[in-house]
Amino acid sequence: MQTGPPTESVRLFLSRRLIERAVRGLGIGKVFYQSQSWEGYNCACESWHNAYWKWVDQQSPVKLVEHLKKAVKIDWSRLSVAQAVDGLKPVGVDWSKLPPAEDDKKQWLEESVRQEMLQQRALFSLAMRGPEAEDPETYKMFANDMKIAAQIDDNSYFKALAQQKQRKPTKDKGDRRLKPQLLVHWISGCLWAFTNDGIAAFLNDLYPRSGNVASGSQVISNAHRNLKLYHSPTPLYWGVTGSPPRLVPLR
């Protein structure tokens, strides 16, 4: 039997799923699958996973974490473990790697709900700090998360919405989110294997900065070093270009 919440197992699953979703969203599947064979890929994944969840934890108030521990309980009289497993099969849960006991599966499923709520809240907070806050599609993306939050008396989403009216407009809205942007795309965008200039161009294409001026190479370097993200010491590629994205070799 397990002796505590299977947090690390759940977070590994959520990390893989985030990467898969981001790869699809970026339309960078061909390049990403190539990157999995490049030297340093596993080191990049490990450093990213650790940095990403450290960021999620930093965005998660202690009171919210404690509230979720008590509030997130699945009513197993209405939902069987088998039904819950079937619902997760399309998103890649490999039950062969999880404890076989029924109670452990229940614990894993409940922990997956808690950790995903913390992850989604962190991503929502990131969106609220940029121009995405003015896009109706942003709120559609998080509509289900808001619904679940309301059901368990989690007011964090609604407080963030209320604060939007209190924020003073800034000319560089969204320019100060470099580190979380690196965290979201470090693996899915293959940024770990690109030059700093290529990383800057990639991010500026997704999140245009004021005046459409990409971050400087040293700024990018300082950011991923600060996050302790593994960056290839000898990148083979400048970055990507075009649609669909294709690699731009250095040599």
> Residue 199: which pLDDT band, with cuts at 50, 70 and 90?
very high
Summarised one tens digit per residue, pLDDT across range 50-61 is 999 999 999 998
The whole-number pLDDT of residue 213 equals 78
Highest mean pLDDT among 64-73, 85-94, 189-198: 189-198
Summarised one tens digit per residue, pLDDT across range 84-93 is 766 665 555 5
Residue that the structure tokens 């989604």 belong to: 120
Summarised one tens digit per residue, pLDDT across range 210-228 is 777 788 899 999 999 999 9
Least confident of 38-42, 75-79, 114-118, 121-125: 75-79
| Whole-angstrom distance, CA of residue 157 vs CA of residue 146 | 6
User: 237: which DSSP letter?
Assistant: E
Q: What is the mean pLDDT of the chain?
A: 85
Instruction: Compare 238 and 1 and report the one with higher pLDDT.
Output: 238
Task: Answer for the pair 177, 126: CB distance below 8 angstroms, yes or no.
Answer: yes
pLDDT at 99 over 70: no
The whole-number pLDDT of residue 5 equals 59
φ/ψ (deg, to 5) at 213: -105, 115
Task: Work out the average pLDDT over 177-189.
Answer: 94
| Whole-angstrom distance, CA of residue 12 vs CA of residue 126 | 21
pLDDT at 1 over 50: no
The whole-number pLDDT of residue 3 equals 41
Task: Work out the average pLDDT over 238-246.
Answer: 92
pLDDT at 83 over 80: no
Please report, for residues 19, 188, 204, 210, the alpha-carbon distance to residue 174 in angstroms, rounded to integers and kept in the order given: 22, 21, 11, 9
Task: Work out the average pLDDT over 187-199.
Answer: 96
pLDDT at 2 over 50: no
Its pTM stands at: 0.86
Task: Work out the average pLDDT over 230-247.
Answer: 93
Beta strands in the chain (DSSP E): 237-241, 246-249
| Dihedral, 119, 125, 160, 72 alpha carbons, nearest 10 | 0
> Residue 155: which pLDDT band, with cuts at 50, 70 and 90?
confident
Instruction: Compare 113 and 46 and report the one with higher pLDDT.
Output: 46
Instruction: Compare 72 and 78 and report the one with higher pLDDT.
Output: 72
pLDDT at 23 over 50: yes
Task: Answer for the pair 149, 167: CB distance below 8 angstroms, yes or no.
Answer: no
